[in-house]
A and B are shown apart, each in its own frame.
Chain A
Amino acid sequence: MSFAVKENKTLNEKYYFKKHKSGLSVYVFPKKHSNTFALIGTKYGSIDTTFKTDRDSDFLTIPDGVAHFLEHKLFEDEHGNDAFQRYAKYGGNANAFTSFVRTAYLFSCTNNFEDNLEVLLDFVTHPFFSEESIKKEQGIIGEEIRMYQDNPGWRVFFNMLGAMYVNNTVRKDIAGTVESISQITPDILYKTYNTFYNLNNMALCVCGDVTAEQVESVCDKALEPSEEITIERIFPEEPERINQERVTLELEVAQPIFNIGIKDVPVSSPEESIKRAAVYEILLQLLFGKSSDFYNRHYESGLINNKFAVSFDHDRNFAHIEISGSCDNPDDVKKAVCEEIALRKNVFFTKEEFDRAKRVVYANNIYNFDSTEVIATGFLSFVFSGNDMLEYPSIVSSVSYEESKERLMSSFDINKCVISIVFPKKTQ
């Protein structure tokens, strides 16, 4: 079977797709850059803590932080060598990351692409976990957790999630805690690995000066077929209401920093996912963008400053708007945000303002296509939500004035608005 081709003539970009015989979905995005960026991801992140396959009789519940721990451990083989050393033979620059909903392993290189890709596919499909190597990793990750404890931006963010979500596992720190990772055993890692690192649950995205055939021949060489399995996950029931309206903490910061969250209803289909992303990006630009009345009025009054930022984040079972910044009176910002939303539900923006916001969203998206890393990483997240990155511009342009107005009225529920603040430590 040959590769399917998908092209966007306006963007002047295209990609090739194939479900490889091993079960892996393969996407190749040609780009005349010096470097080639490749990442392989599994649809498994920190929120997936209770699961089973159709071969298992019982559900397994794992400690917090396993996805991230597994990401670290996969780099090491049975001889104690790490994958970085294997890449080093071919000059590949490697890394990995774990998010709420996925784990990904990546490299970029300007030479020896096939050799580097073979290293990636090989180490990700050959796990080795031992008591001894787990113990060592607990030390390194313990330091990583401690480092994040001192990071006010990280703390204020997770406190916001904890305020919005009552039971959803998205409220838990991705790396877990020093205590939770101490419960990790080789058996837990193997069971988790064998569930989620099945190639049918994974995708490979490559962007650079390479051909689909080059990628395929390395896959043929490095990958054994995975059995088709069905994964079942159990998530705690999440009520629509928020957990608590306000949460605060004191840390070594100079000025209070804040995250305001507005809880939203999760999306139920891929179509809804991409559409909502586009509508919200336009709405947030209208409401709180740099050219908005809100931003300028409150910047001039001194309530906010240029650290003020807004975004919409959503995935499998969560959706929320995030508003962040640093200022003297964060509670007043929350009040102003809620008032603005209430006002705009009554007096929506003009058609002219709407068209300008759409132009901004269109143009900002063009910037994404200048980097092989942004393309490959972005591509994976579109793929895992059942969508196509090249379709995003046309989805944005299809958003109508009326539906945006309707969306603002029906969502953006100010009764589901929370604030998390990190205050400076009081001087003793």
Chain B
Amino acid sequence: MIFERMEIKKGVFVSAVKTDKFKTNLLTVNLLTPLCAETASLNSLLTDVIKRGTVLYPNMQILHKKQDELYSLGLNAYVQKRGELQLITFELSAIDDAYTFDGMNLLEQATELLGELIFNPVTENSVFRAEYVAQEKKNLIDSIKAQINNKSSYAIKRCHEIMCKGEPFAVSVAGEISAVEKITPEQLYAQYKELLKNAAVEVLFVGNRDASEIAALLAKHLPFTERKPFIKETIVKTTADEVKKVTEKMQINQCKLSIGMRIGTSLKSKDYIKFSLFNELFGGSSTSKLFLNVREKKSLCYYCQPVVEGVKGVMVIASGVESKNKDTAYEAIMEQLEDVRNGVISDAELGDAKRSLENAYREITDSPASICAWYISRIITGRSDSPEDAANSIASVTKTDIIVMAKRLVLDTVYSLEG
């Protein structure tokens, strides 16, 4: 696996991870913008409207038929949150040319179609089609409302919002209903033009081509112009004021207890590998302290695990417990954290955590989507280390490092969703 990154135009970067491991190729075009309430809903809606059709393929059916001909080409657009950045991502996944049965130059044709999707959307009166915008507003509002359907992820989202109130991180990446309702085709089109002109562009490719080959394809089919992007740094808070305690009600059987913490570091820092090992030992693996003690020994919950956002430097310890056991579970989780802080770490636990984390890093190289997710986070934080580099750096982390990282953790919010 070879990672290469080059700036093909000012503000437009191409990175390629060349490997012959896969039968498919994955290409993502990421437009990087600050996550903020004014534009988050616009960007989110844009990724839905843009999928409705292009000038050459003016409706979804014609577009999908074209994708079918290109061997079921995967073509998608969606928003992602990385720290306090909102990524507008256009994604293409195609089987490699070697597996087409008519000798098609598939990756080239696929890139051409991706270019058509990004640069040539169907319009009327010089803006997006009003009908498409209205329909996708309804779909997006329904999908925002449906966030309550998945209780675990909803509880984590609420915990983030409460913990980071007033910080850009609290802005919902999918958008807010009240903001979506107000969007007009004119505003949406203006935002689209603004993004194409000024957003930082990071293109990532995973497959059997090198960066210069991808750069050549882009030059031909994705006419991004030079730009001077403004990238806002994610604010990493390492302290908390008073602990916020919030309980919300929903008619559910199982209580979702979410404990929000500031981790005292972030992916930008050299210390992050130490935090990652702490996390593996504390709750990240199935031999971690949380799994073995809170789940297995005390039988308090079916799941109890930390969900980490490394760019922002926050984590939520998410668990599902019976409401009457909520306080006991909270105590049990905090007791495990105290143990780590006090150095109650056996050599076996340390070794297990190291092997488990090393395995997790090495496995990233086996999936195009994981490789892509790895490098986009690295690029955003100004790093270029590979999963193998991370795996190799674990050996030097010591028990003392783990204790130091555990002590940096600051409790910020205790959120529970219960019946």
Among residues of B, the one whose C-beta sits closest to the C-beta of A285 is: B68
In the complex, which residues of chain A have a beta carbon less than 8 angstroms from the beta carbon of B24?
Answer: 366-367, 370
Interface members, chain A 229-259 (any B CB < 8 Å): 251-255, 257
In the complex, which residues of chain A have a beta carbon less than 8 angstroms from the beta carbon of B355?
Answer: 88-91, 111
A150 within 8 A of B: yes
- Chain A interface residue count, Cβ-Cβ cutoff 8 angstroms: 69
A141 and B302 alpha carbons, distance in the complex (Å): 7
In the complex, which residues of chain A have a beta carbon less than 8 angstroms from the beta carbon of B291?
Answer: 84
A144 and B304 alpha carbons, distance in the complex (Å): 12
Check if A34 sits within 8 Å of B287, measured CB to CB. Answer: no
Interface members, chain A 141-163 (any B CB < 8 Å): 141, 143-144, 146-147, 149-153
Given contacts A146-B254, A252-B148, A299-B60, contact A291 B296 (CB under 8 A): no
Of A88, A289, A295, A296, which is within 8 A of B287 by CB? A88
In the complex, which residues of chain A have a beta carbon less than 8 angstroms from the beta carbon of B250?
Answer: 252
Given contacts A33-B21, A356-B68, contact A293 B61 (CB under 8 A): yes
**Interface readout for A294-307 with B: 1 if CB under 8 Å, 0 if not?**
01100110100111
With both chains docked as a complex, state the minimum distance between the C-beta of B52 and any C-beta of chain A, in angstroms: 9
A-B contact count (CB 8 A): 177
With both chains docked as a complex, state the minimum distance between the C-beta of B14 and any C-beta of chain A, in angstroms: 23
Among residues of A, the one whose C-beta sits closest to the C-beta of B154 is: A252
Given contacts A34-B365, A300-B135, contact A144 B64 (CB under 8 A): no
Check if A364 sits within 8 Å of B72, measured CB to CB. Answer: yes
Check if B64 sits within 8 Å of A290, measured CB to CB. Answer: yes
A340 and B143 alpha carbons, distance in the complex (Å): 26
With both chains docked as a complex, state the minimum distance between the C-beta of B276 and any C-beta of chain A, in angstroms: 15
B84 within 8 A of A: no
B142 within 8 A of A: yes
Check if A33 sits within 8 Å of B71, measured CB to CB. Answer: no
Check if A149 sits within 8 Å of B254, measured CB to CB. Answer: yes
**Interface readout for B129-151 with A: 1 if CB under 8 Å, 0 if not?**
00000010011001101111111
Given contacts A32-B21, A360-B72, contact A254 B64 (CB under 8 A): no
A88 and B350 alpha carbons, distance in the complex (Å): 10
Check if A88 sits within 8 Å of B285, measured CB to CB. Answer: yes
A35 and B296 alpha carbons, distance in the complex (Å): 28
In the complex, which residues of chain A have a beta carbon less than 8 angstroms from the beta carbon of B360?
Answer: 93
With both chains docked as a complex, state the minimum distance between the C-beta of B239 and any C-beta of chain A, in angstroms: 34
Of B254, B286, B356, which is within 8 A of A143 by CB? B254
* Residue among B291, B296, B359 facing the most chain A CB atoms (10 A cut-off): B359
Given contacts A254-B142, A366-B23, A367-B24, contact A296 B151 (CB under 8 A): no
In the complex, which residues of chain B have a beta carbon less than 8 angstroms from the beta carbon of A351?
Answer: none
B295 within 8 A of A: yes
Interface members, chain A 356-375 (any B CB < 8 Å): 356-357, 359-360, 362-364, 366-367, 369-372
B115 within 8 A of A: no
In the complex, which residues of chain A have a beta carbon less than 8 angstroms from the beta carbon of B303?
Answer: 147
**Interface readout for A46-88 with B: 1 if CB under 8 Å, 0 if not?**
0000000000000000000000000000000000001011001
B2 within 8 A of A: no
A225 within 8 A of B: no
List of 5 A-B pairs having minimum Cβ-Cβ separation, nearest first? A91-B355, A254-B145, A88-B352, A139-B299, A291-B64
Q: A33-B366, A85-B292, A293-B61 are in contact. List 5 more A-B contacts (CB 8 A).
A: A34-B362, A90-B355, A140-B295, A146-B320, A367-B24
List chain B positions with a Cβ less than 8 A from chain A: 21-24, 59-61, 64-65, 67-69, 71-72, 93, 95, 99, 135, 138-139, 142-143, 145-151, 250-254, 285-287, 291-292, 295-296, 299-303, 320-322, 351-352, 355-356, 358-360, 362-363, 365-368
